Amino acid sequence: MGVSFEAVVSTDGIGALCTRLHLPPPAALAGSSILRDDDPDRDAIFDAAWSALVAAGLVADPGDAGQPLPRAIALLGAPETLVTIHRQTDLRVDAGFIAVNGPEAAEHQPLDAERHAIAGLPTGKVASRIAAFCRLTDRPLPATGPAAFTAAELLTLTELVAEGDLDGALALTAGRPDEPAARGFVAALSQRTVSGQVSITRYAGPGRIEGTSTAWVDGGDAGIWRIPRPTVSPLWESGQSDNGDLDWIPIEVSPVTASAVLTEIIDGFPELAAAYP
């Protein structure tokens, strides 16, 4: 990227960059109307947005795809590896995207429908950005061990806690061999400060895509619990099976440390593993 930078750019500013410099739109905006192809006022709107970028010192007229901001937009539009991050609290869900190409990375966080935080950074700083965005914080590690549920049980527990029926959720854990762990997980759900999921998609070659996904819930003093992606049958994934199959899908949740979550993310990302100290 040459230099690290951070900027807030309007949706029309990104559209103007993509149009003037023939850049692909960021992956998070693919399929949207960002390029205003059917808008008769597009040229005037993009001219104004371009002038605002120049006035802010984010581009130099007439534009150069090698400048930091256009370079970041280009990387976000055609990454070799794309990191997709979702962070959820009781109040909102936020998404972030980090595109990586060798030693260079670019970050995109939609702030609202009209504003986007764009940053350029070296790949070596991606891990710390993921941790900061997800609010990964050291928590006490429960000594209970893992708890094994079916997908149906996990769905029911989550719904009961979301509805405020903690007694109902705890009742479902009674008498289980792993009752202490199951009760600990329910406590984490009820005390959740944030939950997160990081998916890494690697475009490994023509027609070849690889990926990993890591999800967890941060229950504050009840600890961080990892929630693995369930292993399901091809019929269920293709939608040819009904929800009754949730009773047959095992999911083992387990208490982990913040560093263990980050290590799992890094392990699915060879370039990041090589750059991370």
Residues 13 and 128 in one domain: yes
C-alpha distances in Å from residue 30, one per residue of 18, 34, 93, 101: 12, 8, 20, 19
**Cβ-based neighbour number of residue 35 at 10 Å:** 16
The answer as to whether 109 is a domain residue is yes
In a domain, 65, yes or no: yes
Identify whether residues 76 and 182 lie together within a single domain: no
Do 77 and 119 lie in a common domain?
yes
| Same domain membership, residue 113 and residue 28 | yes
Report the pLDDT value the prediction gives residue 234, as an integer from 0 to 100: 42
Same-domain pairing of 246 and 164: yes
What is the reported pLDDT for 274? 59
Domain co-membership, 102 together with 168: no
Does 156 share its domain with 238?
yes
Is 179 within the bounds of a domain? Answer: yes
Mean pLDDT of successive 10-residue stretches along the chain, which has 277 residues: 81 93 88 83 93 92 85 92 90 91 92 92 89 90 91 91 94 93 95 93 77 92 90 46 67 94 83 60
- Give domain status of residue 165, yes or no: yes
How much is the pLDDT for 27?
A: 87
Indicate if 166 and 126 belong to the same structural domain: no
For the stretch 100-137, pLDDT in tens is 988 899 999 999 889 999 999 998 888 889 989 999 99
Contact between 63 and 53 under an 8 Å Cβ cutoff? The reply is no
Structural domain includes residue 270 = no
Q: Kindly write down the DSSP assignment for every residue of 187-229, as one continuous string.
A: HHHHT-SEEEEEEEEEEEETTEEEEEEEEEEE-GGG-EEE-PP
Task: Note the helical H segments in the chain.
Answer: 11-21, 42-55, 68-77, 126-134, 151-162, 166-171, 179-190, 234-237, 258-267, 270-275
Same domain, 178 and 242: yes
Domain of residue 211 covers: 147-258
Torsion angles phi and psi, residue 246, rounded to 5: -60, -25
In a domain, 264, yes or no: no
Answer yes or no: do 33 and 109 share one domain. Answer: yes
The mean of the pLDDT values for the chain is: 87
162 in a structural domain: yes
Residue 176 inside a domain? The answer is yes
In 65-154, the DSSP E strands lie at 81-88, 93-101, 104-110, 115-122, 147-150
Query: If you ran DSSP here, which 8-state letter would residue 177 be given?
Result: T
Residue 198 corresponds to which tokens in the numbers above? 């990081």
* Residues 5, 69 contacting (CB under 8 angstroms): yes
DSSP H helical ranges for 3-125 = 11-21, 42-55, 68-77
Cα distances (Å, whole numbers) of residue 257 to 95, 141, 217, 261: 23, 6, 11, 7
Question: Are residues 69 and 117 both part of a single domain?
Answer: yes
Q: Which residues pair with 94 in a beta bridge?
A: 87
Q: Which one of 94, 113, 134 terminates a domain? A: 134
Query: For the chain, how many structural domains are there in total?
Result: 2
Question: Is the Cα torsion angle 235, 238, 241, 245 positive or negative in sign?
Answer: positive
- Within its chain, how far is the Cα of 45 from the centroid? 31
Do 160 and 125 lie in one domain? The reply is no
For residue 237, the model assigns a pLDDT of 44
Q: Which of 134, 160, 177 is the last residue of a domain?
A: 134
Given 134, 159, 185, the domain boundary residue is 134
